[in-house]
Structure formats: structure tokens, C-alpha cells
């Protein structure tokens, strides 16, 4: 079974789509897909579908949705190549004590591949292999075709998972830009960062990288303007001043030239704000 969630939901068995069209079964499949090869508790699925006030028929209705998914899987299993080990829909979507288990049998998962590539990128950064880090993180980010599960109406469980995935994406993006800055690609980054800081108006790390890219491109005045706009947004929207690291970066831009400015952008551990505003 192959699973894609970094964009629209797409689940296939033997290359045959098994993604339902009805909203509730899609939610069930999305949550099972995000936790593929793990038991997903019945209580988690019920909360996803109905929140804190499920109907009395919640378990029975959930079983109906599981049956509908198994019917789709059964149709896809009919396309198994000759000579493969016979499987049934109940082998793929299993009922286990306390919940359900979606078995991928070694199929592809874009989330797992993203995490694998991003992890390689982070390790390359730790080893000061900035070219390797930029390459791996760029590969990881290309797996995203849009917001995670963009075509799903999420309940509380999926909303939490979508936020987690978006944080992972932002972290990989930040580190990829950091690697590119270390490689001297500041002019190439200006356009991309212009868009990003417009979208993430209070994201201090991205603003710090934008300031650095502008300053190293000989655009010190614009870099300082970025700081002032960020400070205005932080004070107005959140009642906060920029972090110490960002204030230090502003002072460095005021005092040094682009060729001598050290990369003093805030580290990921110091990231304080990722709201879009």
C-alpha cells in the first residue's frame, strides 16, 4: 500500500486508488494512513469524527466506515499479480484489540520518506556538510505538493497532525535556507524569503534569514526595514519584542559590512513564533 498525505490524500493498493469520496470515511482513512502500521485506537477515531460529543451509534457507524474502506481495498486486491501471497481486505485493514491497524506491507509513504530525507539533511548540517544538507532537505521538501491533507475536512485529531506536519515542514525549510546561506546563495534566496516572510509575518527565524540575505546582497537599508516591520507585527499582534538573537542581528547589520557579518540568525531551538499572523 502506498500513502500520500503531503498535499491531497491518496492511498493506493496495487496501484489502485482506495480513497473514498465521502467525508467521514476519508477522515478515517487519513488518520489510519498517518499512523500506518500502528494500532489506531477506536476512541481516537471516534473523537476525530465527532469530537467530544459522539452519538450513541458512534461505534456502529465507525464499523460501517471500516467496512466501506475494506470493500475498496478488496477491489484493489483483485488486481494482485499472479503468484503473490493471497491477502484479504481484513489482512490489510485489521481489527485488533482496542483499534484498527492499516498494514502497508512495505509500501511507500511520503511522510516517512520526508522524515528520512530531512533527517539526513539535519545530520549533514551537524557535520557542516552544507551542500549535502541543502540537497537532502530540498529533496524532502519537493515531496510536498501543498498543505498536508488539503482535501480533508479535519476533526481534532487530524488538525493536530496537520499542525505537526506543518511544523516539520517549516523546520526543514528553515534548515535548507540556512544551508544555502552558508553556501553563499544569499542573492538567490531573496525572492523566496520575500514570499515566506509575507506568509509567516511573525516567524522570527525566517525574518532573520531574510535580513541576512538582503544585507549580504548589499541591501542593508531593506534588511533593517524587515526588522522594523517584524517588530511592529510582534508588538501589535502579540505584545512581544523581537528575541535577543534577532536584536543582536540587527545591531550587527548596523555595525558591519556584508562580507564580515557573521551568521547570527536565531537557532531552531530559539524559535519562538511560527504563526502566520
User: 160 lies in a domain?
Assistant: no
Output the pLDDT for position 260.
54
Cβ–Cβ < 8 Å for 118, 156: no
The CATH number of the domain holding residue 58 is 1.10.10.10
Please identify, among 49, 76, 102, the residue that sits at the C-terminal boundary of a domain. Answer: 102
User: 251 lies in a domain?
Assistant: yes
Domain count, the chain: 2
User: 243 lies in a domain?
Assistant: yes
Q: How far is CA 218 from CA 15, 150, 233, in A?
A: 52, 39, 25
Distance (Å, whole) CA 105 – CA 32: 14
Output the pLDDT for position 262.
45
The CATH number of the domain holding residue 220 is 1.25.40.10
- Per-residue pLDDT of the chain (277 residues), as tens digits, is 999 999 999 999 989 999 999 999 999 999 999 999 999 999 999 999 999 999 999 999 999 999 999 999 999 998 776 556 678 999 999 999 989 999 999 999 999 999 999 999 999 999 999 999 999 999 999 999 999 999 999 999 999 999 999 999 999 999 999 999 999 999 999 999 999 999 999 999 999 999 999 999 999 999 999 999 999 999 999 999 999 999 999 999 998 765 555 444 444 433 434 444 4
Output the pLDDT for position 256.
79
User: 121 lies in a domain?
Assistant: no
Please identify, among 80, 102, 124, the residue that sits at the C-terminal boundary of a domain. Answer: 102
pTM recorded for the entire structure: 0.87
Task: Show the cell assigned to 76.
Answer: 484493489
Please identify, among 102, 133, 155, the residue that sits at the C-terminal boundary of a domain. Answer: 102
Distance (Å, whole) CA 251 – CA 247: 6
Domain hosting 241: range is 186-277
Output the pLDDT for position 140.
98
Cβ–Cβ < 8 Å for 134, 180: yes
Strand partners, 95: 100
Output the pLDDT for position 261.
53
Greatest CA separation found in the chain? 72
Rg (the chain; Cα; Å): 23
SS3 11: strand
Output the pLDDT for position 258.
57
Handedness of CA 105, 6, 120, 268 (dihedral sign): negative
Q: Alpha helices of the chain — where are they, by DSSP H?
A: 23-34, 42-50, 58-77, 89-92, 110-126, 130-141, 156-182, 186-199, 204-216, 220-238, 244-255
User: 117 lies in a domain?
Assistant: no
| Same domain for 98 and 190 | no
User: 149 lies in a domain?
Assistant: no
Distance (Å, whole) CA 231 – CA 226: 9
User: 108 lies in a domain?
Assistant: no
Cβ–Cβ < 8 Å for 158, 31: yes
User: 173 lies in a domain?
Assistant: no
Amino acid at each position: 500500500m502506498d500513502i500520500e498525505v503531503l498535499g491531497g490524500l491518496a492511498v493506493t493498493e496495487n496501484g489502485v486508488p482506495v480513497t473514498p469520496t465521502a467525508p467521514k470515511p476519508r477522515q478515517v482513512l487519513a488518520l489510519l494512513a498517518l499512523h500506518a502500521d500502528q494500532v489506531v485506537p477506536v476512541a481516537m477515531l471516534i473523537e476525530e469524527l465527532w469530537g467530544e460529543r459522539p452519538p450513541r451509534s458512534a461505534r456502529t457507524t465507525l464499523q460501517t466506515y471500516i467496512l466501506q474502506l475494506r470493500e475498496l481495498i478488496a477491489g484493489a486486491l483483485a488486481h494482485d499479480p499472479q503468484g503473490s501471497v493471497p491477502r484479504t481486505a481484513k489482512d490489510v485493514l485489521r481489527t485488533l484489540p482496542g483499534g484498527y491497524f492499516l498494514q502497508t506491507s512495505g509500501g511507500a509513504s511520503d511522510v516517512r520518506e520526508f522524515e528520512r530525507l530531512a533527517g539526513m539533511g539535519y545530520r549533514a548540517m551537524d557535520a557542516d556538510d552544507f551542500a549535502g544538507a541543502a540537497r537532502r532537505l530540498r529533496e524532502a521538501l519537493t515531496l510536498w505538493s501543498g498543505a498536508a491533507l488539503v482535501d480533508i475536512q479535519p476533526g481534532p485529531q487530524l488538525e493536530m497532525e496537520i499542525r505537526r506536519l506543518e511544523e516539520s515542514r517549516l523546520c526543514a525549510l528553515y534548515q535548507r535556507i540556512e544551508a544555502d546561506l552558508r553556501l553563499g546563495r544569499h542573492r538567490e534566496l531573496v525572492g523566496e524569503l520575500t514570499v515566506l516572510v509575507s506568509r509567516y509575518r511573525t516567524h522570527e527565524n525566517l525574518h532573520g534569514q531574510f535580513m541576512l540575505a538582503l544585507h549580504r546582497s548589499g541591501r542593508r537599508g531593506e534588511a533593517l526595514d524587515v526588522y522594523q516591520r517584524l517588530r511592529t507585527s510582534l508588538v501589535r499582534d502579540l505584545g512581544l519584542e523581537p528575541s535577543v538573537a534577532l536584536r543582536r542581528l540587527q545591531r550587527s547589520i548596523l555595525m558591519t559590512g556584508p562580507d564580515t557579518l557573521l551568521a547570527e540568525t536565531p537557532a531552531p531551538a530559539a524559535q519562538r513564533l511560527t504563526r502566520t499572523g
